[in-house]
Chain A
Amino acid sequence: MSPRPATACIVGAFEHPTRKAPDKTVAQLHAECAAGALADAGLAKGDIDAYFCAGDAPGMGPLSMVDYLNLKVRHTEATDLGGCSYLALVAHARDAIAAGRCHVALITLAGRPRSEGSSGTAPRTRAGTPEAPWEAPYGLTTVNGYGMVARRHMHQFGTTSEQLAWIKVAASQHAQHNPHAMLRDVVSVPDVLASPVISDPLRRLDCCVVSDGGGAVIVARPEIARSLRRPVVKVIGAGETVRHPFAGQAGEFDLTTTGAAVSGPIAFAQAGVKPADIRYASIYDSFTITVLLQLEDLGFCAKGEGGRFVADGNLISGVGRLPFNTDGGGLCNNHPANRGGITKIIEAVRQLRGEAHPAVQVKDCTLALAQGIGGNLGSRHGSATLILERE
């Protein structure tokens, strides 16, 4: 591995402990997350000179939140790639820092879908979008979009519900050690298979939780990171894309490939590392099938081999080859604002610092990957990949 310049580091990471917050506003949750990340970093509010957010931030882009937080910024950005926005924003913050536009960037996410009664079985087509007239009548929800994806993968590659269940089993093995996790009970493959079908072939335990809460991350110049006397977590690779299988296809329509097949190789090439080098992976887990596809597309196994790769505990820390989502992930711990991306960064930072729960901490965790999907694999989605290294 050749040395590469560190362009920015993650110096602060905070996951809000709440999972249900009916008595708080979304702005308030953003602010509590920001304060948590700032304290974690050991920086002062006045050190922040850039703010990054996505569609969960109330108001027009960063305007309301920069005001609410009373920040003095010289760089801002709002990018919406759904649940993976925050992984993309870390890369954008790195690039803004490298370009000299700012020194310390704050990224926040928060929402209250649990208190507001959000459900994965509710139609998600947005009025006013160009696709709305062609989707709204059909009742595309989150879960039936991913159900189509899962069925197609089963058809093409022989993937089974048992194999998908192993992903939930691994997440539950990790969640038992997380006192904040919504679902802390360890489950077995038969438990997953016995849970009711929501949208076939996906069962209830194939689906992530709906939780209130949020998180925040602070990205800073390497000199600042080194002055904070904490393990330094460098952003060494990043990639992003938008995948839209319906437009432009002719005979090659494919719902079984995600944008990770594009964002992953970009990130790996930039970092100069291979999938086999990764010690820990945060993989977006809106559903079990989401994890399986991303693992294939990132190159942890060949396309179609995901079912065999995840089986038999291969994703369980201390047991398998690729420990994943050691906080319990979206499947068991937290999926704030229906956008889990920031939690993927936060647990990767914990692992690289050696601050994960001792029962799930990966030994000598020097290189981690965080991967997100936003939107719907059944229609169009964003993908963002980060590769992080402990200095």
Chain B
Amino acid sequence: MTTMAERILPAPGITPETEAFVAAAREGRFVLPHCEDCGRTHWYPRAVCPHCWSTRLTWRPASGRGTVYSHSTLLRVEAPYTLACVTLDEGPTMLTNLVGAAPEAWHIGMAVQLRFQAAEDGTPVPVFAPA
């Protein structure tokens, strides 16, 4: 049994499109992009709304609650880890890692809660643990 907490997350790299998200995350806040023109949110965050190509986007606080859409634990590596898609209560589905439980504990439909985990360079990265 491993909780697989030992894997070091590679740094995400910060770009003009990600710095506001990262700044909020450094304060422990999880935010989602909201389009002021079409009213929709999306993932992954970008400076141009993928629904309507508006650039009038603002960041809104999000719950960090979601459910597991699917997952796969890569075993044939030094530090196994669980890749997953988590559907947020706000709608979008994001690629992420599941942490804080053994691989066999995860199942589709499971309720999970976002937490930030520091990447190798300290940048907070959203991952999910059992709710």
**Count class of interface residues, chain B:** 35 or more
Which listed residue (A123, A138, A144, A250) contacts B92, Cβ 8 A?
A: A250
Cβ contact within 8 Å between A137 and B12: yes
Which listed residue (B42, B43, B46, B97) contacts A130, Cβ 8 A?
A: B46
Cβ contact within 8 Å between A137 and B119: yes
- Give the complex CA separation of A36 and B8 in angstroms: 47
Q: Which residues of B contact A133 (CB under 8 A)?
A: 12-15, 17-18, 44
Q: Which residues of A contact B12 (CB under 8 A)?
A: 132-134, 136-137
Q: Which residues of B contact A147 (CB under 8 A)?
A: 72-74, 83
Which listed residue (B11, B69, B74) contacts A137, Cβ 8 A?
A: B11
Cβ contact within 8 Å between B70 and A255: yes
Q: Which residues of A contact B76 (CB under 8 A)?
A: 121, 196, 198-199
Given A140-B83, A253-B85, answer yes or no on A130-B17 (Cβ-Cβ < 8 Å).
Answer: yes
Cβ contact within 8 Å between B40 and A152: no
Q: Which residues of B contact A249 (CB under 8 A)?
A: 92-93
Enumerate B36-87 residues with CB–CB distance to A below 8 Å. 40, 42-46, 50-51, 69-77, 81, 83-85, 87
CB distance from A125 to the nearest CB of B (A): 9
- Whether a CB of chain B sits under 8 angstroms from the CB of A248 is yes
- Whether a CB of chain B sits under 8 angstroms from the CB of A202 is yes
- Whether a CB of chain B sits under 8 angstroms from the CB of A149 is yes
Cβ contact within 8 Å between A152 and B70: yes
Cβ contact within 8 Å between B83 and A253: no
- Whether a CB of chain A sits under 8 angstroms from the CB of B28 is no
CB distance from B80 to the nearest CB of A (A): 9
Binding site for B on A (CB under 8 A): 121, 123, 127, 130-141, 143-145, 147-152, 155, 196-202, 245-251, 253, 255, 378-379
**Cβ contacts A to B, 8 pairs, < 8 Å:** A132-B13, A134-B43, A136-B12, A141-B74, A145-B72, A149-B70, A246-B94, A247-B44
